[in-house]
Amino acid sequence: MKSMRNLCAGVVVGLALTVAPPSERSASAAAAPTVAKPHQPLASHKAIYELTLLRTKPGDGVRAARGSMIYTLADRCEGYTIESSIAMDLAFADGNTQKVDQRYASWEAKNGRFSSFTMHTLENGKPEKTYRGTITLKEDGSGTATYEGEKTVSFDLAPGTLLSTAHTIALLESAAAGKKFFSSAVIDGSFDQGPFVVTAAIAGSRKAAAVLKKEDPAAVSGGAYFPMSLAYFPAASTAPIPEYELGMQILPSGISRAMTQDFGTFTIGFKLIDLEPVKPEC
């Protein structure tokens, strides 16, 4: 099973995905800003999502899935911390089952220049993959990412590369400006393949009631949001088909109302079931 990405946000229903060809993806990524200027800070919050199997393709593969994810983003003055914990039970067409537990944590500087991260994955209770690393970017977004696990691997990062929170802010800025498309190289350590080129199709602002019937008034999940559809391509690949696709409903605060994650042979839905504010440490 491919790792479940920690960048989490809402469901997109019926939004057409625009995927640029490899040459355009590279040009767009190089032109992307290194540090976005947020129209408002990302909201510090803790969100809990219920994970379910939405659809699967015929043949061998996943036939049932259920689980949960806890996602926390907190403002730490000079940077943001992100923590996500995913527990997923999978059942396959051949009768086998698998329990996946994944824990990710990172700290990202608000100036978009540095990040540190750790990833731990268990399969059926046994360690499957563990690594940690750092990302250092220059003013133009070029830099180096180093992963330390069973072996040490480094990636050279092209100009225009964004960290996770900087990418979220850039998407929100693009949406607020009425842009329909945004593309950039992104790296946060949640995948050990290194950077991805992420192309986003952005729909206009929509309004909806709060997802949760009962919630802390300070943890808002309703109001205006932007539907987005993101396609993830490994930066080293020239394949026209993304490795996976992410659908989101994201509030201007960065809070994710819901999400779908399409891995090609199966799609997982993320339903928001609890949301609470986290007090910033500034």
Distant-in-sequence, close-in-space partners of 90: CB < 8 Å, separation ≥ 6:
1, 62, 64, 65, 97, 98, 99, 100
268 is written with which tokens?
Answer: 């997982």
Q: In this structure, is residue 16 part of a structural domain?
A: no
Q: Which amino acid belongs to residue 224?
A: A
Q: What is the pLDDT of residue 57?
A: 86
Closest to 102 measured CA to CA, from 231, 11, 2, 247: 2
Considering the domain boundaries, does residue 11 fall inside one? no
Residue 8 inside a domain? The answer is: no
* Beta partners for residue 248, in sequence order: 228, 259
The token duo for 78 is 């000079």
As a dihedral over the C-alpha atoms of residue 201, residue 205, residue 207, residue 211, rounded to 10 degrees, the angle is 40
pLDDT in tens, 230-275: 999 998 888 888 999 999 999 999 999 999 999 888 999 999 999 9
Establish if 200 belongs to a structural domain. Answer: yes
What's the mean pLDDT in 29-48? 63
Residue 219, pLDDT score:
75
Between 25 and 149, residue with greater pLDDT:
149
pLDDT at 214: 67
Torsion on CA atoms 54, 182, 17, 100, rounded to nearest 10: -20
CA neighbours within 13 Å on the CB side: how many for 232?
A: 23
- Domain assignment present for residue 134? The answer is yes
Residue 117 falls inside a structural domain: yes
In a domain, 15, yes or no: no
Domain assignment present for 170? yes
**Residue closest to 10 by CA, chosen among 42, 64, 47:** 47
> Domain containing 188: what range?
22-277
For residues 106 and 37, the model is more confident at: 106
Residues near 124 by beta carbon (within 8 Å), at least 6 away in sequence: 98, 99
Instruction: Count how many domains the chain has.
Output: 1
Task: Give this prediction's pTM.
Answer: 0.84
